[in-house]
A and B are shown apart, each in its own frame.
Chain A
């Protein structure tokens, strides 16, 4: 099978769906002729023109609110934030309008709107260009949150997002953008709410979020040499969250660790832990544990930056600690 990068896979999905659905248009800063800061729309402007690849002024609230109106009136907008941090300038439009529009209209309006952006800590991007923030949105009804960890998932999940009628946050971790993986030529979609069992195992379950999947695989490769067998689950979509796959795994292993780059308080790990406690308490042989990045704004210096995110060694140690519980 051919190998392509995460960015290429996502761009293929966008291209294929723009071809298929003429009511899709993209807005963002520099996503027109320039092709996007992260090459998210490279080559598409030439193909689809300015009406469908619309460079915007720097008005996040403005174009997000505008896209809400467009989505209510027959278009399928894609907002390309470049850096997902910038969504915060439009949060009122997202939370009060986009997420609630279908509900307020008793299902008579649809909200086919995809909001994409680059997330995550890395590359000395410093604190205004390193945001994750997705737990905030998982908290809210009416928004789907998608966080692929590899090119295959990126393409399949993006296509599902572009075909649905709901608002979707499609989040691309900057450390994954150039990572390569197998992506078939044939068309496919990956449904939301279906976690991937990255690796089967018996002794413990690790739910790894986004970029942490790779680090967890690395850690578990080391543990495998000690005959410690860890099941790795990648939820792929955080809203909806496939809790049943996690529960089944915990039923098997009795031990659960959630590894997430972003903050612990009120985060994905907290939510998963609470649900597993409520629904799988009698399967737990140890307290559910979390490994998160530090609860701090992101520093610039690479040395400081590396200190605020979990690395493979810490994942490995956390699994050891979990097994010792």
Chain B
């Protein structure tokens, strides 16, 4: 019997919600605990998990994506292999178990046929095989494993595949001989894979890389008496980048307090207006991304990087967002923010959030930023000193917005209650001096205080 999947009630007061993304697509196998789709309700994006196993079916005529619909609206079905969903075949609402095979999509037919032929005792899995340990780690790291490619002998998903997915990395394709050679020669396979995306790494590649950079890291033997766990790949990357940043840049942090009252009003108005909309409402980060991009247009020296003895100034802004995920700090990127509307930025950033949460960020999502914004406001942080995300020149740290009593006019002794916020700009003094950096920060501050200014261009 097909199981109906309805718009869920995700909060006590929720009456309607927007399906912002199908995570499972029509015909996908699904098992309990897997995410079916993402719903935006008045507070947040919610991943909606399945309680059932079977095959996920979305009605052919479905147009719910992006629409605000009442709780209880029929969104999809979960059917068993060989079973048809009610939207198929006839227009009646009763699902017919004995529906003709031709009504079933080809991908399901195969499963169904095999199922019947082998009388339910078969090795065809609806889901890829996964080791118990990999399944446990996937659950711990929140990795959706059903879509992963396993690297085990029989294609089984093993722990390393899950951890690689958690790092947002596609495991490099490498021959066993090359893997052994890489281990012997101390070649970093991940780094090598980055240099040759999409290609299978062979022993020749490894040996060439070893000759080019003959620094062989000898591995330490793990010793006793303490609980030791290997540094997860994400942390390794973070550690390497942070260390590199601190040791190679000349960081200076400037701090200023901003009156964000207008920005708050703007965001509130947009949210109100967006209530009848189905598209994502721009977040503060989206607004900050856009206005910072506008400021960078006037201060291109902060949208730059040092390459050897050359300063490379980017003509486009690729805005990175520091994001806390279960796997650690990730910095997904929205490209060409100078050419995108706030709406586009908002849509993209919502998708990035989803991908960051389910561990499906691609390497493209995580590379190429020219400037980074890091926002710790939600953690009630006022001021902090961000670390530059190499090879970029600067990073903007944003604190929380708090209502404060502020002196508006000393003469008339006027005070007012305003939404105030601190910003911290860390920049690399090798590339830019204090005054120009301060001017850039000043412009960002002005754009926050007077949002209409950056709407001009």
Contacts and interface: CB of A to CB of B under 8 A. Distances in A.
Interface in B155-203: 156, 158-159, 176, 180, 183-184
Given A286-B158, A324-B176, A325-B158, A227 B219 contact: yes
A242 B149 CA distance: 36
A200 interface: yes
A275 to B, nearest CB: 15
A300 interface: no
A254 interface: yes
Contacts of A281: 132
Contacts of B222: 200, 202, 229
B230 interface: yes
A218 interface: no
A288 to B, nearest CB: 11
A225 B222 CA distance: 15
A282 B222 CA distance: 23
B153 interface: yes
B296 to A, nearest CB: 45
Nearest to B181: A226
Contact of A285 (B133, B223, B230): B133
Nearest to A286: B131
Contacts of A17: none
A324 B131 contact: no
B183 A285 contact: no
Contacts of A283: 132-133, 136
Contacts of B152: 286, 324-325
Contacts of A228: 183
A284 interface: yes
A135 B221 CA distance: 35
B159 A325 contact: no
Given A226-B184, A227-B184, A286-B158, A254 B131 contact: yes
Contacts of A282: 132-133, 135-136
A62 to B, nearest CB: 50
B134 interface: yes
A221 to B, nearest CB: 13
B224 interface: yes
Contacts of B158: 254, 285-286, 325
A202 B135 contact: no
B-side interface size class: 20 to 34
A324 B135 CA distance: 18
Contacts of B134: 285
A46 B219 CA distance: 56
Interface in B112-141: 131-136
Nearest to A228: B183
Contact of B153 (A200, A225, A254, A325): A325
Interface in A250-284: 254, 281-284
A325 B132 CA distance: 13
A229 B220 CA distance: 11
Interface in A197-252: 200, 202, 225-229
Contacts of B224: 200
Contacts of B131: 254, 284-286
A227 B133 CA distance: 22
Nearest to B160: A285
A324 B160 CA distance: 12
A284 B134 CA distance: 8
Given A286-B158, A324-B153, A325-B152, A226 B133 contact: no
Contact of B180 (A226, A229, A284, A285): A226
Contact of A226 (B136, B183, B221): B183
A227 B183 contact: yes
Contacts of B159: 254, 285
Interface string A45-75: 0000000000000000000000000000000
Nearest to A225: B184
A254 B134 CA distance: 9
Contact of A202 (B132, B153, B230): B230
A151 B143 CA distance: 49
A285 B176 CA distance: 18
Given A200-B222, A324-B176, A325-B158, A254 B230 contact: no
Interface in B223-248: 223-224, 230
Contacts of B184: 225-227
A277 B186 CA distance: 35
A226 to B, nearest CB: 6
Contacts of B230: 202
A202 B223 CA distance: 11
Interface string A303-325: 00000000000000000010011
Contacts of B132: 281-285
B220 to A, nearest CB: 11
Contacts of B219: 227
A226 B223 CA distance: 19
Nearest to A197: B224
A252 B158 CA distance: 14
A117 to B, nearest CB: 36
Nearest to A201: B222
A254 B133 contact: yes
A324 B179 CA distance: 12
Contacts of A325: 152-153, 156, 158
A228 B223 CA distance: 16
A200 B228 CA distance: 12
Nearest to B133: A285
B153 to A, nearest CB: 5
Contacts of A324: 152-153, 176
A254 to B, nearest CB: 5
Contacts of B223: 200
Nearest to A324: B153
A281 B134 CA distance: 11
27 contacts: A200-B221, A200-B223, A202-B222, A202-B230, A226-B183, A227-B184, A227-B219, A229-B221, A229-B222, A254-B131, A254-B158, A281-B132, A282-B135, A282-B136, A283-B136, A284-B131, A284-B133, A285-B132, A285-B133, A285-B134, A285-B159, A286-B152, A286-B156, A321-B153, A324-B152, A325-B152, A325-B156
8 interchain residue pairs of minimum CB distance: A285-B133, A282-B136, A285-B131, A227-B183, A285-B159, A254-B133, A281-B132, A284-B132
Interface of A: 200, 202, 225-229, 254, 281-286, 321, 324-325
Given A226-B184, A286-B156, 10 more contacts: A200-B223, A226-B183, A254-B131, A282-B135, A285-B134, A285-B159, A286-B131, A286-B152, A324-B152, A324-B153
